[in-house]
Amino acid sequence: MALGSSRWWQEGVIYHIYLRSFADSDGDGLGDLLGLISRLDHLNGRPDSLGIDAIWLSPCFPSPDRDFGYDVSDYTTIDPRYGTLADFDQLIREAHARGIRVLLDLVFNHTSDQHAWFRESRASRRNPRRDWYVWADPRPGLLGRRPPNNWQSAFGGRAWTWDAARQQYYYHMFLPEQPDLNWHNPEVRRALMGAARFWLERGVDGFRLDVFNAWFEDASLRSNPPRLGARGFDRQVHLHDIDQPEMMPALAEFRSLLDASPGRTSVGELFGQDPVRAASYSGVDRLHMVFNFEFTSSSWRPRGFIDSVTRWEAALSEDAWPCYVLSNHDVSRHVTRYGGRHADAVAKVAAALTLTLRGTPFLYYGEEVGLPDIHLPRSLILDPPGRRYWPIYPGRDVARAPMPWEAGVHGGFTRGCPWLPLHPSYPYRNVELQRRDPDSVWTFYRALLRLRREQAALRRGDFRPLVASPGDGLIYLRSEGPDAALVALNFRAHPTRLPTDARLEAGQWQLALSSLGSPSAAIERDGIMLGPHEAAIFISR
């Protein structure tokens, strides 16, 4: 299947796979590359496939797994638990044959403390990699040595750990086992660009960059100003440990590497939720896209969503491109956050929202079947922040349960013991059952994705809100030349009439898709009638 335009990422839909939870081929309880290959037809390549355009894989590099792959010990091979380089090459071939591009997750802010670079760096102050990480002498204090400044770890506690061999502190924004690389060192930057080039030469179509705006720290290691907050990390204004001015030249260097290979793309994970700051990192000589995470923490209110979209659109430059995400491996799944007693109905409305906005949608594995969070006792929690802050914060495991493929043992995910339990709903909430159900969440996702592919207005069109007062729902117009699509979303569990601030002529529109088996959507002159939790998409005649 042809892969098409070099700007595919502006029109495509990207599917986020948490690899260890997707499909296990060898019965060890961990998802792997061969398991993923066996499930590619679910994603694309057949008439009955879901219909996505690309997959983004969570880290599959060797790792001690203190942070489940986000502590990398070798950037240029595959963790044996997930497969081999030959398996990865097969994945690229098989995915491309189905019209699926492949993005890798690059964790370039830090490595594992087991990486050969850090082992050499900590061995002495005279070795060739002595300044590949952020090392600093202690501050003197009345009670002995103190860390170089007041920086806090995002996972709790001080961001500095004393190393007896070097008689210095090293910096880690996350766990002590995740020392931060020194991006001020040009040798470090060359090594990381070389790692990215290694995967590009193997056919990778792009990268997601983990916490990229934390690559640089203030060279003078100045302390952050204080502010009110619940955790130590939240009680600081992060003025000197993220978003340093050296970021822009580094992103330009990374972008030039990608641009040398046509059709490659990038998306960045920003540390924080500031859409203006996120937008500043997207565009020519910067990243192709940067996540705006406001949707991952917003409540189920139309006003909040439309305000977020409006802020995002206003902040983006002409050469930047938006992208949207409702769930990922770090946050509670949106069906749990929003769904309540109407989880499947809300899942469909949320899908219609994210798949019809101007921008690239990112889907998280399992959301196409309405997969909710799994609730775990502390004894089963593996995530480091979850174990530290439970029960106030249950951690990220809740959003990482294995994919439910069928109603059989372990949901068809593994023939062994899964690394995390499946959600107990898997006997009646799984891919196999939902593919056969014309009213299922999966069937609606597939129909939405097909409609999006068919309608240029939904992929490339301008975005214009039409709802007069977004109390119960949203109406917006997408238009591309003579083509137009009208999207109406009812956020409530009762029938609703949504007034518009534009005059509508019913004869000019045809209902193309509704989330209800028996659609209620009807266009009136100055509004649209919708059934309970109905998502309706009209196409211009």
Q: Which residues are catalytic?
A: 210, 269
The tokens of 198 are what?
Answer: 């290694």
User: What string of DSSP letters covers 343-375?
Assistant: HHHHHHHHHHHHHHSSSEEEEETTGGGT--PPP
In one-letter notation, the amino acid at residue 418 is: P
Answer positive or negative: Cα dihedral of 194, 199, 201, 204.
Answer: negative
The tokens of 446 are what?
Answer: 């597939």
What SS3 string covers 226-270? Answer: ECCCCCCHHHECCCCCCCCCCHHHHHHHHHHHHHCCCCCEEEECC
The β-bridge partners of 487 are 476, 537
The tokens of 525 are what?
Answer: 């002159």
| ∠ Cα 514 519 522 (to 5°) | 95
| ∠ Cα 140 142 145 (to 5°) | 40
CA dihedral 50, 347, 480, 289 (to 10 degrees): -80
The tokens of 497 are what?
Answer: 């009439």
Cα 121 from Cα 177, distance rounded (Å): 14
Q: Quick check: 518 and 510 in contact, CB under 8 A?
A: no
Q: Which residues make Cβ contacts (< 8 Å) with residue 527, sequence separation at least 6?
A: 497, 498, 499, 500, 504
The tokens of 1 are what?
Answer: 């299947």
* Ramachandran class of 218: left when φ > 0, alpha when ψ lies in -120 to 50, beta otherwise: beta
Place of tokens 């079947």: 369
C-alpha separations of 464 from 247, 476, 496 in Å: 33, 5, 21
Closest to 209 measured CA to CA, from 170, 240, 246, 250: 250
By CB atoms closer than 10 A (0-12, 13-18, 19+), residue 528 is buried
Q: Where are the beta strands (DSSP E) in 182-226?
A: 206-209
**Cis status, amide bond into 391, omega within 30 of 0:** yes
Q: Which residues make Cβ contacts (< 8 Å) with residue 140, sequence separation at least 6?
A: 146
Helix/strand/coil for 120: helix
